[in-house]
Amino acid sequence: MLVLLPFAFAFAGAVCAAPPRAHKLVESVAPPRDWFNLGPAPADHVIPLRIALPQSDFDTLERHLYEISDPDHERYGAHLSKEEVEALVAPHPDSLRAVDAWLAEHGIPESACTRSPAKDWVSVNVPVSLAETMLDTTFHVWKHAVDEDQVVRTTSYSLPEHMHAHIELVQPTTFFSHMKNHRTTFRFSDSQSDAPSVPGETITVTNSDGTKILVDASCNTTITITCLKQLYNAVGYKPSATNGNEIALTGYLEQFANVEDLQLFYADQVPDALNSSFKVTLINGGQNNQTASEAGDEADLDVQFAFGLTFPTPGTFFSTGGSPPFIPDVDTPTDSNEPYTEWLDFVLAQHKVPQTISTSYGDDEQTVPISFAKRVCAGFAQLGARGTSLMFSSGDGGVGDGDPDPATQTCQTNDGRNVTKFIPGFPASCPFVTAVGGTINIPEVAVDFSGGGFSNYFSRPSYQDQAVTEFFATKLPKGTYAGLFNPNGRAIPDVSAESDKFRVFIGGQAFHIGGTSASSPTFAGFVSLLNDVRISHGRPSLGFLNPFLYSKGFAGLNDITVGNAPGCGTPGFNATSGWDPVTGLGTPNFAKLKDLVLSF
């Protein structure tokens, strides 16, 4: 039996006092695939409800975001302040009053609530019995068929009709995202080695613009910091440690970046960085376990390559808790698997946010309720408006679900119809982030697991119109995969980078690993170097990247035209000239991008 939070007892007597209200359905979902109902949830189990209030002027925020991110607009780089962003997304006072009154009706005092910086989210811990009354629903315990994770959820909920104008969504209710598959897109290479690669012969790489660069031949078997700087034309560039530029990484699912592993990596690949480290920020119960056996493969990979590429730029690792599975007969005061909102609440509350942030985690888009996905995406837009560039891995399942083995992908809709469809990933599908796909080998070709495709939740943003329209008109034969994807959806990925055979140190040992979890911190590293260029020249940071990438930045990218990423029993899409849903616009050519970002 769960131990209730102290104030939960106060709610119990107030439920009967709440006046009866006619409820109207807010959301209903089909029982998701692979989740099985074990029966009613314990009445005294505590749920951390997050209540989203409508953002009063998000349309204006979005307009500002596109203007200040368009290098041809006179307002380019005029990022908004924390206070300006909060004013645009703050709920209307009527909504604040209505939600407060509704909570009070159920005996929930103001002192029991916590609020996001803009007050557009209200969080309160309540027992199941009260949540069921508030939402006119019944919560059950659900168990996942594969790994036996258990969550307390419902398949529908309602609100009093007069509250629909004041509440957009309440979670966790219908949120069945499988958090072990809110995955680090991580994979060990078939070959693992404890021996450092030794530079030998060189390979001449001819970029898509005809320029040539030399890359150590060893980079075809082992990717190092040196390899990436050679391949992406950044050899010799040294960023500032003191100009205010910062880079950050996010960590979830109890992933800890090990400092001793980082020192081994630096000794192996970045000797100038030896004895330097990074800042760790703990959010929502996040941890920083430095025991060697607890070293996180994803966290070590992200930290070693992002901070190795950008040394001595100050780096931060955000360790966010709140996403472990729970067993409902264990004392668990919270049951939250929405860590993006916990992280967003924290970061948006800061007056200074790192200019570049990479995240190597994601879900199948369809497992995230569309209302929740759109609110999280709106949070990313707020960061973009404040001048932060956000990179997300595009996933490791090609056009399919996150299973990297095409033979075992289900590729069926999660709405009870079980229709075969390509499965895009989230948050990569959010139009306000930069989705990073993967390449392999020297010269580069598309890696066969690079996640890509088209969102079913978000429409195609205008910055993609020309590139994606050209792809459909001249690169994809008419009728190819008809019905398997949404041709009007936000297209994924935007860009790409090397994503396999990365030499990392985990638990004191060297391994080769890969995944688009390697390409996202890699691309972010070069974005941070570009921010260093701009800041050192008195310019504002790049902020939201995509309007720049699609209008001018593509000229500083290496177009990848070979390879494909299969999935769902198909060969998937092909890499081709121009934008494609495997490698996006291509991989970075830092020297060319450096000139481009100083041209406006």
517 assigned to active site: yes
Interatomic CA distance for residues 10 and 111, integer angstroms: 12
Report whether 15 contacts 132 (CB < 8 A): no
- Tokens 């307002």 locate to 75
The structure tokens listed for 140 are 């059950």
Query: Side chain identity at 97, as an amino acid letter?
Result: R
- CA distances (Å), 458 to each of 370, 376, 413, 428, 568, in order? 9, 12, 17, 11, 22
Strand order in the sheet with 140-144: 35-40, 140-144, 150-153
Please confirm, yes or no, whether 277 is among the known catalytic residues: no
d(CA 374, CA 357): 20
CA distance 124 to 115: 9
Among 157, 163, 160, residue whose Cα is nearest residue 19: 160
Active site residue 70: no
Amino acid at 238: K
Q: Which of 298, 365, 498, 559 is catalytic?
A: 298
In 3D space, the residue among 403, 385, 576, 399 whose CA is nearest the CA of residue 474 turns out to be 576
Token pair 């040992």: residue? 509
CA distance 110 to 104: 8
Q: Which of 27, 302, 338, 364 is catalytic?
A: 302
How far apart are the C-alpha atoms of 413 and 482, rounded to whole Å? 16
Of the residues 496, 517, 520, 541, which is catalytic?
517
Contact at 8 Å (CB) between 15 and 49?
Answer: no
Assign 162 to helix, strand or coil. Answer: helix
Q: Where are the beta strands (DSSP E) in 467-568?
A: 489-492, 495-498, 502-506, 509-514, 557-558, 564-567
Q: Which residues are catalytic?
A: 298, 302, 517
